[in-house]
Amino acid sequence: MDREATRRANRRVLRNTLVVAAGMFGFGFLLVPIYGAICTAFGINGQTAAIEAAQADKVAVDKSRQVTVQFHAIVNDKLPWAFRPVVSEMKVHPGEVRTIYYTAENLSGRDSVGQATHSVTPDKAAVHFKKTECFCYRQQALKPGERKQMPVRFMLHPALPKDVHEVTLTYTFFNAAAFAVSN
């Protein structure tokens, strides 16, 4: 190859590899929605949990078995709240819609905003844990010393695998002051 041809070939490699590098930079960000899509597909992070109330009522109740649902509450140490479920566990039939409450209390002397995340164990039960209403769908604001009861309406879908006898629902409340939106 003569000198000029080599120069042109080198420039071509430079251009192509830079395009690939730029594409991979974009791909790094694309991993965010890909991750979200995979979580939805596998029911990770409770992303398949939401269901319309009207739809939930149509689901047939499976009276033949009962599943124990345990409720669990965690507060991230950046948030000065007390947070606990009113009842710690209950037995439900798959398909029946139940309402439970969590209470949250602002222990600090300042206005405070929290955002809860949820998780369901065991993993294979997560896709079948349906909620028509949850305090975790939006931020919760508490004034100094304010205490509030927050409902969760949920249902275990009858498609829940037969070998699951216990399901745990966990909420973690994080300090969302930095991300506060006015409801």
Residues 2, 161, 178, 182: which binds another protein (CB under 8 A)?
Answer: 178
Distance CA 96, CA 50 (A): 15
Should residue 87 be labelled a site residue for another protein when binding is judged by CB under 8 A?
A: no
| Least distance in angstroms from the C-beta of 23 to another protein | 8
Q: Which stretch binds another protein (CB under 8 A): 42-50, 88-96, 140-148, 150-158?
A: 42-50
Q: Say how far apart CA 86 and CA 16 lie, in whole Å.
A: 61
Note whether 54 binds another protein by CB under 8 A.
no
Kindly state the helix (H) or strand (E) to which residue 153 belongs, with its residue range.
Answer: strand 147-156
Binding pattern to another protein, positions 157-176, x when CB under 8 A?
A: ---------------x-xxx
Is residue 40 a contact residue for another protein (CB under 8 A)? no
Site map (CB under 8 A) of another protein, residues 123-142, x = contact: x-------------------
CA distance linking residue 122 with residue 140, whole number of Å? 27
Given the complex with another protein, which of 132 and 172 has the nearer CB atom? 172
Smallest distance from another protein to CB 90, Å: 24
Gyration radius of the chain's alpha carbons: 24
Least Cα distance to 169 among 129, 114, 135 occurs for 129
Alpha-carbon distances, residue 67 vs 42, 121, 133, 149 (angstroms):
21, 13, 20, 25
